[in-house]
Amino acid sequence: MTMTPPAPGAPVVYQDPVRLALSRRRARRNAWVGMGSLVGFTVVISLLVSRSPGWPIVQETFFSREEFIDSFPGLLTAFMLNVKIFLIAEPLILIFSLVIALTRTLRSPIFLPLRVLATLYVDIFRGVPTILVIFLLGFGVPALRLQGVPNSPVFWGTAALVLSYTAYVAEVFRAGIGSVHPSQRMAARSLGLSVLQTNRYVVLPQAIRNVIPPLLNDFISLQKDTALVAVLGPIEVLRQAQIDASSTFNYTPYVGAALIFIALTIPMTRFADWVQARMARRQRAGSIA
C-alpha cells in the first residue's frame, strides 16, 4: 500500500507510515522487554525468599492466613476510629493553619502581638515531637481533673494532632502566599483594592492552588499519624492489632493494620502525583502569566 504525502503547507498532521510503523514496533518491544524483566525479577526474588531456611517461621509469624482472617474484621472496625479522628482533625487543621499563616503576613504594628504569638506557636509545635504533644495533653490534662473539661483520650489525642499539624500546614500556606509574585499584589493595589481585598481575591486563591500538592502530602502523613493516638489507649486500629498480637504472639495483625493504611494512602499518593503533574502542565501552558 502506498500513500502520497499531503501537499507542503497542508493543515494536517502527517507522519511517514514507515516511520510510524517502526516507532510502534519499538514501543511494543520496549513494553515486552519491561514486562519480562519485571516478571523474571519477581520470580527470582520470591524463589530466593521462599527457599531460604528461615522463611516458614517468618511466614507463620507475620503472614499467617488464619490469624489474618481472624483479626482483619476487628481491625477494620477499629480503623473507623482512625477515620473519624482524621475527618475531624483535617478541617480544623486547614482552618487554623490558614488563620496562623495570614496572621504572620500582617504588617501593621498594631498586630505585632498577634504576629509574635503566631510565630511562637509555629516554632514551638514544629519543634516538639507529635507523640510528646499527645502524651502531654492526653495524660496531662485529664490529670488536672478540671470541671467541664473532657477526659476522653480520643478528644485529647485529636487535639494534639491538630495542634501539631496546624504548625506544619501553616508553614505550607505561608510558603504558598510567598510564592505569589509581588507584581500580582501591585496590580491589585493599583486598581484600588484594599490590602484585605487583595489577599482575598488575588493572593489567597493563587497561594492555595500552588500548595495543593504539599497539602495532600500532609494529609497522607496525618492519616498515618492517627495511629499515634493508640498510646492513650483508645481502641483504634494499631491498638486493636497490638491486643490481637499480644494474645497469640503472632504478628500478622500488625501486617493487617499496615495493609489497611496502605490501602488508603496509595490512592491518596497517586492522586497527589496526578494533581502535581496536571499543575506542572498548566504552569508550562501559562508561563506568560
Partner 1 sequence: MSARLLEVSGVWKGFDDHAVLRGLDLQVDAHQAVVLIGASGSGKSTLLRCINGLESVDAGRIVLDGDVEVTDPDIDLDLVRRRVGIVFQSYNLFPHMSVIDNITLAPRKVAGVRAAQAQEEARALLDRFGLAGKADEYPDRLSGGQAQRVAIVRALAMQPELMLFDEITSALDPLLVGEVLDAVRELKSGGLTIVMATHEMGFAREVADRVCFLHDGIVREQGSPEQIFTDPQEPTTREFLARVFG
Residues within the interface to partner 1 (CB under 8 A): 183-184, 186-194, 197, 201-202, 205-206, 209, 282, 285-289
Q: Can you tell me the distance from the alpha carbon of 67 to that of 167, in angstroms, rounded to the nearest whole number?
A: 40
CA distances from 259 to 56, 76, 217, 249, 256 (A): 21, 11, 19, 19, 5
88 or 193: CB nearest partner 1: 193
Least separation in angstroms between CB 208 and partner 1: 10
Comparison of 109 and 113: residue with beta carbon closer to partner 1 = 109
Choose between 75 and 188: whose C-beta lies nearer to partner 1.
Answer: 188
Cell output for 139: 495524660
Q: How far is the CB of 277 from partner 1 (least distance, A)?
A: 17
Whether 226 and 85 have beta carbons less than 8 Å apart is answered as yes
| Cα separations in angstroms, 80 against 38, 76, 112, 237, 259 | 36, 7, 43, 8, 15
Q: Nine-digit cell at 222? A: 496525618
Closer residue to partner 1 (CB): 108 or 183: 183
User: Which CB, 7 or 289, lies closer to partner 1?
Assistant: 289
Closest contact distance (angstroms) between CB of 190 and partner 1 is 5
Question: What residues contact 115, with CB distance under 8 A and at least 6 apart?
Answer: 103, 104, 106
In whole angstroms, the minimum distance from the beta carbon of 180 to partner 1 comes to 10
In the complex, the smallest distance separating the C-beta of residue 199 from partner 1, rounded to whole angstroms, is 12
